[in-house]
Structure 1
Amino acid sequence: MPSDPDLKRLQWRAHHRGTREADMLIGGFFDAYNASWNADERALFAEMLESQDVDIMAWAHGTAEPPERFAGPMIEALKTLTYIRIAR
């Protein structure tokens, strides 16, 4: 668990979206990538969390284009979906 209060807040918001699917996708993305984010990337993720879950999930699945401000490495990483843990 992160010790930084802002990072803890982001973690909680990423993992408590309202549906299990969104929690897995957005929370899994946070868990996989947050350690490598700089302050600007952390701020971009926080801004992305203000978006609707269905929009974020559509960006991840490639069924909708993200707003220009989100286009770039973070969305490309989101689209990989390799960070989602699936019970087998």
Structure 2
Amino acid sequence: MGEDIEVRRRRAVWRAGHRGTKELDLLVGRFAAVHLASMGEPDLARFEAFLAVSEPELQAWLLAPEPGAGETEFAEIVTAIRKYHGLA
């Protein structure tokens, strides 16, 4: 049987806030703390996959000034995080 969704949410919030760089800890962690509680299983699974992306890639997607950065399978998450922090 699969893990309880609440356990997965708590784990994802912790992982989001402990990325390895202070910038990503703040950007991804604060977003996760607010939004993961309302995510259903499909969105949570996609966010968990997002968390597996390398630090340099995430940082480039989230902090790139040019439009179209983060145009990947995670574009919706990147856009949501950027909007949450006023970067979009």
Mark yes or no: TM-score above 0.5.
yes
CA deviations on 1:53-75 (whole Å, 9 max, x unpaired) are: 22212222245733532123x22
**Unaligned segments of structure 2, at least 5 residues:** none
Matched, 1:77 2:53: no
- For residue 8 of structure 1, report the CA deviation from its aligned partner: 1.6
The normalised TM-score by structure 2 is 0.73
Q: Percent identity?
A: 29
Residues 1-88 of structure 1: pairs in structure 2 closer than 5 A: 4-63=6-65, 65-66=69-70, 68-72=72-76, 74-82=77-85
**Unaligned segments of structure 1, at least 5 residues:** 84-88
Amino acid paired to 1:80: K
Kindly indicate whether structure 1 or structure 2 has the higher relative contact order, using CA contacts under 8 Å at least 6 residues apart: 1
RMSD of aligned alpha carbons: 2.3
Size of the aligned set, in residue pairs, is 80
The normalised TM-score by structure 1 is 0.73
CA deviations on 1:8-43 (whole Å, 9 max, x unpaired) are: 211111111112111101101101211221111100
